[in-house]
Amino acid sequence: MRQPAAARPWHPIPIVDCREPLIPLPPQLLRLTPHPYETLGAPYGDQPSPFLLRQGVVDRLLQAQDALQTLQPGWRLAIFDGWRPIAVQQFMVTHTIQQLCVEQGVDVGVPSADLNRVTAEVGRFWAPPSQDPATPPPHSTGAAVDLTLADGTGLPLPMGGAIDAIGPVSEPDHYAQRAAAEPDGEAAGWNRNRQLLARVMAAAGFARHPNEWWHFSVGDQLWAWLSQAPSARYGRVDP
C-alpha cells in the first residue's frame, strides 16, 4: 500500500541524541487503558509497555500537571500514547488508510485519485514509518506524547473530537471562531479545554503538533523545528 510522503520540514534538522533512557510513566500520570493500538492488534511483540517516555519528557509532564492543578485543582493529564516502535507506526498508518477508505467507499487496492487523497490526508496526521535514523517518527524517539485532560475522577474531559481523528476537527483551533461567536456554547468549552492543555504543556517546554490538539513533544525534530532550535536531542530509541 502506498504510504504518506516522507518529506517533513523538520527532517533536515540534525539529531544529537543525549542518550536519556526510556522510563515508565509514574503513577501520578493517568494512563488511558486498555491501550487502543494493542487492542487493534498492533505488533508490539515482546516490547515493553507503550507508556514509556524519555526521562526528561516525563519530568516535564509532571511540571505540566503541576501547572494544570494550580489552575484546575484535581484535574490530571491523561496519557493516550507514548513511545511507539516503527512496526506499530507502520501498522497504524496502514490501518488508518484502510479504515478511511472503507468509510469513504474508496478501493484501497486500486490506484486512484481518491486513494491518493485519502493517503495525503492521513499523512497530515500520521508520520511516515521511516526506518532512516535521520528521520524518525516522533513517537519512536520517546519524546512525543498524545494526551488529553481528565477530571478528578479520571474521566477524560470533552475536547470536541477524538484523539487520532482524521480531518479539520483535530486542528487545535478548530472551534476558536465558534467559541468567539458563542462564548457560552458547547464549542467554547471544547476550545477552552484544548487551549488549557496547550497552555500547561507550553509552560513545561512542550511544542504542539500544528495539526493535532493532542500531540506534544519536547526534544525531537518537530520540537526543534517549532522552537527554532539548532538540533534535536532525541532520536529513535529502542528499550
pLDDT per residue of the chain (239 residues) written in tens, 0 to 9: 545 545 799 999 999 999 999 999 999 999 999 999 999 999 998 877 899 999 999 999 999 999 999 999 999 999 999 999 999 999 999 999 999 999 999 999 999 999 999 999 999 999 999 999 999 999 999 999 999 999 999 999 999 999 999 999 999 999 999 999 999 999 999 999 999 999 999 999 999 999 999 999 999 999 999 999 999 999 999 87
3-state SS assignment for residue 165: coil
What residues are labeled active site? 212
CB atoms within 10 A of CB 13: 19
Asked whether the beta carbons of 197 and 149 are under 8 A apart, the reply is: yes
Q: Fold for domain 22-227?
A: Muramoyl-pentapeptide Carboxypeptidase; domain 2 (3.30.1380)
What DSSP state is assigned to residue 126? S
pLDDT at 6: 57
pLDDT at 135: 97
Cα–Cα distance between 208 and 51 in angstroms, integer?
19
pLDDT at 238: 87
Task: Give the number of residues written for the chain.
Answer: 239
Cα–Cα distance between 169 and 119 in angstroms, integer?
18
The C-alpha angle with vertex 49 and arms to 47 and 55, in degrees rounded to 5, equals 105
CB atoms within 10 A of CB 195: 16
Cα–Cα distance between 173 and 194 in angstroms, integer?
8
The cell numbers describing 64, all together, are 505540566
pLDDT at 4: 52
Cα–Cα distance between 83 and 53 in angstroms, integer?
6
Cα–Cα distance between 195 and 206 in angstroms, integer?
14
